[in-house]
A and B are shown apart, each in its own frame.
Chain A
Amino acid sequence: MTGAGRSAVQAALAADPVLAAHYADFRAHAEAALDPALVALIRQAVAAVHGMGAAPDEAGLDAATRSALAYARRMTFEHTAITDAEAAAVAAHLGEPGFVAFSVLAALADAECRAALVGLAELAGE
């Protein structure tokens, strides 16, 4: 992440307000489809895998949420190894629409971390 909640991609697109607005809209809709607390946990868990901050404290979380976070972590480097059973568990917890949003958000969070690590905003002159 770059700045207060702004991703490296958003920062890189500063010179193209239309494309930046489209990206922000997509990102906002992906986040709005899930509970804000879960969104924050997913982003934190994924960022921690990339060495970008501490992992979330899961002590007070229910088992289903912990499973969802474990799944989000798997998205970062092991996406082809995720099993049908793992997916079914998260889908059962979130429902099909929620699982779709979760999949998009977790994958986007991973990609945004990678964009930050490669220095996208700086390369784009921001």
Chain B
Amino acid sequence: MSTIPRVSSAIPGEPAHFGSVLAHQPDIAASFFALYGRFWGSDVLSARIKEVARMRNARVTECGFCRNVRFDKAVAQGLGEAAVDDITDGYETSDRLTDAEKAALKFTDALIHDPELLNGDARAALQRHLTPAQIAELGLGVTLFLALAKALITLGLEPETMDRTVLPTPAVPEAAE
């Protein structure tokens, strides 16, 4: 896995990072950030559950950038580092994660790793804890988390080192509202 950018920055004076590289395709960038802001801005599914799924994707795909970023909305909803530390193999036994979060994690594993993991019991648990609209948002989120992690990694945009960083939760850019 390369930590040397495989594409240059499209923004003069800025190093190659996800935003500056995606700027090679302004229409893709604008539509993505509008979508991502809308997704995080929706409260159909809590930011905390979205962040739990994002953290799981970060670990499974080995996305170091994703793994070290925290979105402040989820932190404000009580997702602390002790709970994040439990989002690893064996999360089923965590006493810091809720049953709804464990069901979302099983769905996340099924989507990004093996659909067979969403067996009868796991499927029933997901449908017991989340509404169809919440599952739709979760599915959108995991799809985007997975795709972006893979794009970021294969474009060589993984940082060599990175501290844990709390960022403002993505919002819809004003121009896209």
| A residues neighboring B (CB under 8 Å) | 8-9, 12-13, 15-16, 18-19, 22-23, 25-26, 28-30, 32-33, 75, 79-84, 87-88, 91, 96-97, 99-101, 103-104, 107-108, 110-112, 114-115, 117-120, 123-125
Contacts and interface: CB of A to CB of B under 8 A. Distances in A.
A84 B6 contact: yes
B154 A88 contact: no
15 contacts: A18-B38, A29-B28, A32-B27, A80-B61, A84-B156, A87-B2, A96-B10, A96-B24, A107-B150, A110-B147, A111-B142, A115-B142, A120-B111, A123-B123, A124-B133
B21 A100 contact: yes
Interface of B is mostly: helix
Nearest 10 pairs between A and B by C-beta? A125-B132, A124-B136, A107-B147, A22-B35, A107-B150, A120-B139, A97-B24, A26-B31, A12-B136, A111-B147
B139 A12 contact: yes
Given A29-B28, A33-B28, A88-B6, A22 B34 contact: yes
B69 interface: no
Interface of B: 1-2, 4, 6-8, 10, 21-22, 24-25, 27-28, 30-32, 34-35, 38-39, 42, 44, 61-62, 107, 110-112, 115, 118, 123, 126-127, 132-133, 135-137, 139-140, 142-144, 146-148, 150-151, 153-156
A78 to B, nearest CB: 10
B11 to A, nearest CB: 13
A96 B133 contact: no
Nearest to A125: B132
Nearest to B1: A80
Nearest to A75: B150
A36 B147 CA distance: 20
B136 A108 contact: no
Contact of B107 (A88, A117, A118): A118
Given A19-B38, A22-B35, A124-B136, A91 B154 contact: no
A75 B126 contact: no
A112 B151 CA distance: 14
A15 B2 contact: no
Contacts of B132: 15, 123-125
Nearest to B140: A9
A13 B137 CA distance: 8
A18 B41 CA distance: 12
B66 to A, nearest CB: 13
